[in-house]
Structure 1
């Protein structure tokens, strides 16, 4: 039995949410299974790219082989994982809401953590809900 099959025996399943980014999904999966980015990359046999993907560093863009390897570990179809990526060549924007993303909370000015570390849907310092932040964002 290979490492991926053995790992699946003890990993908790995590389903992607509708419209969720790859970064946020990987963070939720790792937290549920008490894994670091490098541990998840090692299980999938893809090395340290998981940490880069969580920070939206997609250059070079993930390959089909990398997605297939990750899909086997997280038990999600590789095409579903690919759909969670921002379109190639786009900047930091929310395609679903057509808004430019901001990097700091408009209320307390704290820098946002990367999406992989979001747990509660709000600013980690002042607890302003992300839904309330949309009024501070500009349309694309």
Structure 2
């Protein structure tokens, strides 16, 4: 048994959140205590996808993920390929991968980055009618890619994402 087979045998299941971006999901999946994969590339390697999962973590979808790629990842992580496809932008929707956007009010309800926050034509949260945040409301550090959101807080000043909702402006 080689090293990749050992990792594959130990890969633990992580339930996706409704509306979660694939970036956030892949980061949670990699960090899950049974998995401990150091990078998106390491996950892609054992899925037979190479560096493509690293690109997805950065919200780069050009070229767009193929059905075969989603099925390869699905068979590895135990999540249906259609469910993985829901974590991507819908056909015809343009993404804006930077800056990373956050609705802190949504995050306080369900702690995950939502794919819809990165749609190019979206500027506010439809649920809360609040403008998206692009940086910490305390220290103004821009948000890192969602796959790197380990503690649900600003990595610079430790202000929780949920507490940032108080400083979101009504749109």
TM-score, normalisation: structure 2: 0.68
**RMSD (Å) for aligned C-alpha atoms:** 2.8
Instruction: Report what 2:65 is aligned to.
Output: 62
TM-score, normalisation: structure 1: 0.82
* C-alpha separation in 2, matches of 1:19 and 1:127: 25
CA-CA distance at 1:131 after TM superposition: 2.9
* C-alpha separation in 2, matches of 1:62 and 1:137: 35
* C-alpha separation in 2, matches of 1:85 and 1:102: 21
Matches within 5 A, 1:4-23: 7-23=7-23
Count of aligned residue pairs for this structure pair: 138
Instruction: Report what 1:24 is aligned to.
Output: 24
| Structure 1 unpaired stretches of 5+ | none
Contact 2:23 2:146 in 1 (8 A): yes
Matches within 5 A, 1:86-101: 86-87=89-90, 88-91=93-96, 94=117, 97-98=125-126, 101=132
Matches within 5 A, 1:123-134: 123-134=154-165
| Structure 2 unpaired stretches of 5+ | 98-115
Deviation by residue 1:52-91 (Cα, 9 ceiling, x = unmatched): 1001011111111110001111110000011011333143
Matches within 5 A, 1:100-111: 101-111=132-142
CA-CA distance at 1:132 after TM superposition: 3.5
For the residue of structure 1 that corresponds to 2:10, the secondary structure is coil
CA-CA distance at 1:100 after TM superposition: 5.6
Instruction: List 4+ stretches of structure 1 deviating above 6 A.
Output: 3-6
Contact 2:22 2:87 in 1 (8 A): yes
